[in-house]
Amino acid sequence: MARSTADTTNESFRHDSSTLTERIAANPEPALRWAGVAAVLLLLELGAFLGGVLTLFHAAVLGVTALLEVSLGAVSSGLGEAAFGFQTDALASISGVRDAAQSIPTLLSRETISNQGHMVGPNGPWTGTFLGLEPAYAWGIRVVLVLVYAFVTAYWLFRGWLVFRNHYRQADWTPTDDIINRLRDHRWGQFGIAVLVVFLTLALFGPALGPTTVQQNIKSPYAEESQIEYFSDDTGSVETVFAGKANFDSKSKGPNQNVGPMTYDDYGRFHPFGTLPNGRDLFTFMMGGARISLIVTGLAIGLASFIAGALGLISAFYGGTTDLAVLTTADGITSVPRLLLLVMLSAVFANHWLGSVLDGGFLLALIFGFTGWPLLWRAVRGPALQVAQEEWVDAAESFGQRPTLIMWKHMFPYVMGYLLVYASMSAGGIVVSLSALSFIGNGLGITAPTPAWGRAVSLGQSYVAGPSWHIALIPGLMIVILVMGLNAFGDGLRDAIDPETKGSDDGDELAAGGGA
């Protein structure tokens, strides 16, 4: 604990009218050093970053305009059309920029370190791969580099905060320091953070990680550009074939036909996780699934946390009837079985284009968000009520602070921790539910052929006891690890925020004249 008495004089105190920019200008060296490295890191992967950010932006614009269109369309069809028009234009321009961004070459891209090539003769050598290496090694190098890059970047972001704290922050110590320090000693929590970093990397760099692309291998394997070259033992020369045809011959269907983890198929393609029963590459499938799973989970949990946080603060601050109204709504929502709601809404929106945003994921995120908040709300209501009792809230009220600001400045910082803890823990639940929906299939979950983890488990279900065990087991394990990581992160955060509740020692009032 960096607790110090206020009586010690503080040398680093500078008279304070300076802004952050002025402080950096006065002592630019640490900031520049940090920014230099950060710039290099960014440049290395600029295309991928921009692409990732723009993909998210694309989804957000799509979602918001979709809601606008649906709600405006309900009022008048003209307004709905207008919204739709705007949406089409906006999305087109975003996609344009995104495609341009993604064409910027990046160091760790599949083009730079390629694993897609073919042998020129029966025993090699390989051509088209990175340094002529075997595809397995080329792929391995790329994956390791991407992960290293991701961890270095994550650390560098944290490092940026340290630089700010040590050189530019005006306060010597803030309560956040304690939380961070405690998290630094929390191995289990760090495991959670590491898992999150890995999965975010999978989602963000998915296209660069897979041995092939979703487009070529899964979505349009018979497209003109989805042809691959390979050395054919039959003809003794290099041949060209559609990926779809190659997939057809690379199925994993138990003892008779199987392409297991870390093996090559007959077309010289490397499959780190083996293939699916339809011959597609499981690893590529999982990467695609990571992106959609994390986006949907993130949207859902973000939406739920936002509603839960706002309503928690409002119900604690105003109490009484407001609290009761929220409570009733929350109970009403939890009393509707979620599966029933999902089935119904999926049916209702089956042919509406809203149901196709993010391959159906957007609708799922909305449903999970709007049905998930009561749980989080219940978790934060207690702490919110407690902080609403604090005298500083009264104090703020007594000088006429606006209620919104009171909730934001004086209550939210105390509730945010709990919100994060419970959000990360329920995020695990959403991941599992999403997979379960895709597992059930039948119009629920993410629309095929877009990859979804649950579908992989479902596809591999009948081959669990046999050589094709990998189809169900690997996706299952990945789900387990992600859920565990989310829980670990939540645990770590909770311990960091609330190490142990310190006992309160409110002395009894000396009741004068109260007698014995």
CB 277 within 8 A of CB 463: yes
Instruction: List the one residue out of 459, 441, 452, 449 whose CA is nearest residue 219.
Output: 449
Q: Which residue lies nearer to another protein by CB, 146 or 396?
A: 396
Q: Which residue lies nearer to another protein by CB, 411 or 437?
A: 411
User: For the chain, what is the total number of helices (H) and then of strands (E)?
Assistant: 18, 6
What minimum distance in Å lies between the beta carbon of 23 and another protein? 12
What minimum distance in Å lies between the beta carbon of 293 and another protein? 34
Using the contact rule CB under 8 A, the part of the chain among 11-19, 42-50, 97-105, 251-259 near another protein is 11-19
Binding of residue 166 to another protein (CB under 8 A): no
Binding of residue 89 to another protein (CB under 8 A): no
CB 495 within 8 A of CB 180: no
Q: Pick from 118, 413, 450, 464 the residue near another protein by CB under 8 A.
A: 413
Q: Which residue lies nearer to another protein by CB, 15 or 187?
A: 15
Q: Which residue lies nearer to another protein by CB, 7 or 224?
A: 7
**What string marks each residue from 294 to 323 as x (binds another protein by CB under 8 A) or -?**
--------------------------x---
CA atoms within 13 A on the CB side of 507: 3
Which position has the token pair 């919204």? 83
Q: Pick from 414, 440, 447, 462 the residue near another protein by CB under 8 A.
A: 414
Binding of residue 405 to another protein (CB under 8 A): yes
Binding of residue 394 to another protein (CB under 8 A): yes
**What string marks each residue from 176 to 205 as x (binds another protein by CB under 8 A) or -?**
------------------------------
What's at 359, amino acid-wise? D
What's at 376, amino acid-wise? L
Torsion, CA 321, CA 324, CA 328, CA 330, rounded to 10: 120
Q: What are phi and psi of 124, to 5 degrees?
A: 95, -165
DSSP state of 411: I
Cα four-point dihedral sign 344, 348, 351, 353: negative
Q: Which residue lies nearer to another protein by CB, 229 or 397?
A: 397
Burial 255-267 (b: 16+ CB within 10 A, else e): eeebbebeeebeb
Binding of residue 447 to another protein (CB under 8 A): no
Cα separation, 281 vs 416, in Å, equals 41
Q: Which residue lies nearer to another protein by CB, 122 or 514?
A: 514
| Cross-strand pairs, 239 | 230
Binding of residue 395 to another protein (CB under 8 A): yes
Q: Pick from 85, 390, 461, 499 the residue near another protein by CB under 8 A.
A: 390
Cα separation, 24 vs 298, in Å, equals 34
Cα separation, 292 vs 483, in Å, equals 16
Cα separation, 498 vs 189, in Å, equals 14
What minimum distance in Å lies between the beta carbon of 390 and another protein? 5
Q: Which residue lies nearer to another protein by CB, 386 or 461?
A: 386
In angstroms, the Cα distances linking 176 to 192, 417, 419 are: 19, 11, 16
Binding of residue 16 to another protein (CB under 8 A): yes
What minimum distance in Å lies between the beta carbon of 247 and another protein? 56
Q: Mind giving me the DSSP string for 447-464?
A: PTTS--HHHHHHHHGGGS
Helix (H) or strand (E) holding 52: helix 46-75
What minimum distance in Å lies between the beta carbon of 423 and another protein? 20
By CB under 8 A, the residues from 319 to 358 that bind another protein are 320
Using the contact rule CB under 8 A, the part of the chain among 23-31, 107-115, 138-146, 400-408 near another protein is 400-408
Binding of residue 173 to another protein (CB under 8 A): yes
Q: Which residue lies nearer to another protein by CB, 393 or 437?
A: 393
Q: Pick from 122, 255, 503, 515 the residue near another protein by CB under 8 A.
A: 515
Q: Mind giving me the DSSP string for 139-171?
A: HHHHHHHHHHHHHHHHHHHHHHHHHIIIII-SS
Q: Which residue lies nearer to another protein by CB, 6 or 465?
A: 6
Structure tokens at 454: 């649950």
Binding of residue 168 to another protein (CB under 8 A): no
Q: Pick from 103, 398, 442, 501 the residue near another protein by CB under 8 A.
A: 398
Structure tokens at 193: 């953070």
Using the contact rule CB under 8 A, the part of the chain among 107-115, 221-229, 299-307, 392-400 near another protein is 392-400
Binding of residue 511 to another protein (CB under 8 A): yes
Q: Which residue lies nearer to another protein by CB, 255 or 320?
A: 320
Binding of residue 403 to another protein (CB under 8 A): no
Q: How far is CA 205 from the centre of its chain?
A: 12
Cα separation, 167 vs 160, in Å, equals 11
What minimum distance in Å lies between the beta carbon of 13 and another protein? 4
> Residues in the site for another protein, rule: CB under 8 A?
3-6, 9-10, 13, 15-17, 170-175, 320, 390-392, 394-402, 405, 409-410, 413-414, 509-516
